[in-house]
Structure 1
Amino acid sequence: MPMPQTYFLASREFDTFIQDVRDTCMLQSHHQAYHTLRAVLHTFRSHLTTADALRFADILPAVTRAIFVEDWRPSDVPLPFPDREALVREMKSVRKDHNLAPQTAIEDVAAALRRSSIYERELDRVLRNLPEGAAAFWA
């Protein structure tokens, strides 16, 4: 079996993706885009069980998957998805003193993710099998 393209092209794919996140969020740097992406991914993950989070991680490109699972404490009990306003507050609380994510960061990252190397049909299929609120998060 050949090496999967998601590993072979991981750096190139991620560079393109993080530039899209930067531009879509109207941020100034890759560093700001990375921290915004991380905050969005970790906010989403905090509302999933371990099994659901791993199911979602399976469809992410390699570097994005690594960011999704970094610093994870799987024993945490997930809370249900709250309304969008609460999700934005939660996302903005990640690295609070250094978080420059715009109010629209969740929607912006969702749009960039859907434009990236992820397969939209696969994303939608996985989201349909996650808890209520998961699909709306990435809408």
Structure 2
Amino acid sequence: MASNIYSTFQSSIEKTNLILADIEQAYGWPPDRRDQSYAALRTVLHLLRDRLPVEESAQFAAQLPVLVRGVYYDGWNPTDVPIKLNRDDFLYEVRQGFRYDVDGGAEGVVRTVLNALRRHVTEGEWEDVRASVPRDLSPIIP
């Protein structure tokens, strides 16, 4: 049993590192800039999470690697969601949470992070997420 738990966590660490590496690769960052890829991941996850209805948010999170799921739920208060933000306000919040200058700005950060996450979520769930966000946000979700 203990080796099974270890295997689950080891797999989650490997998948999380793949997600962070995908973000780094998209920007050409070396692995020693892991703090930036983590900041991008955390910021986008929290903003997406807070825009989704509780049930959809939980269904999406269930498909994420365990470690990423922990980041996703960190600080979440399901009684306060979904928070309504238009596209401009959403991108403003991305800039507030991710204060690094990158090509493509806040919208590029959202696309990059979501592209990295998309490989770990079924197509059906991804479409559910796209359908659940406000209409003016769906164009920036790959």
TM-score (norm 2): 0.75
Using the TM superposition, give the Cα deviation of residue 79 of structure 1 relative to its aligned residue in structure 2, in angstroms. Answer: 2.6
State yes or no: 1:37 paired with 2:41: yes
Aligned-partner residue type, residue 86 of structure 1:
D
Corresponding position: 1:118 with 2:121: yes
Give 1:90's aligned amino acid: E
Q: CA deviation at 1:106?
A: 0.2
TM-score, scaled relative to structure 1: 0.76
Aligned-partner residue type, residue 118 of structure 1: V
8 Å Cα contact 1:61/1:118 also seen in 2? no
Residue by residue, what CA displacement relative to the aligned partner does 1:96-135 show, whole Å, maximum 9, x if unpaired? 6xx2263110011112122x3333x133343255244464
1:40-70: CA deviation from partner (whole Å, max 9, x where unpaired): 0111112123222112211222222111111
For the residues of structure 1 that align with 2:74 and 2:16, how far apart are their CA atoms? 16
| Higher share of residues assigned helix | 2
Identify the residue that residue 12 of structure 1 maps to in structure 2: 14
Shift of the 112–16 alpha-carbon distance from structure 1 to 2, 3 Å rule, reads same
Give unmatched runs, 5+ long, in structure 2: none
Q: What residue ranges of structure 1 are gaps of 5+ in the alignment?
A: none
Aligned to 1:100: 100
Residue identity in the other structure for 1:11: I
Q: CA RMSD in A?
A: 2.7
Residue 72 (structure 2) aligns with: 68
Does structure 2 retain, via aligned residues, the 8 Å contact 1:106–1:138?
yes
2-structure distance, mates of 1:137, 1:17: 19
**Equivalences, count:** 131
Q: Which amino acid aligns with 1:14?
A: T
Q: Which moved more, 1:11-20 or 1:50-59?
A: 50-59
Distance of 1:9 and 1:45 partners within structure 2: 23
Residue 92 of structure 2 corresponds to 89
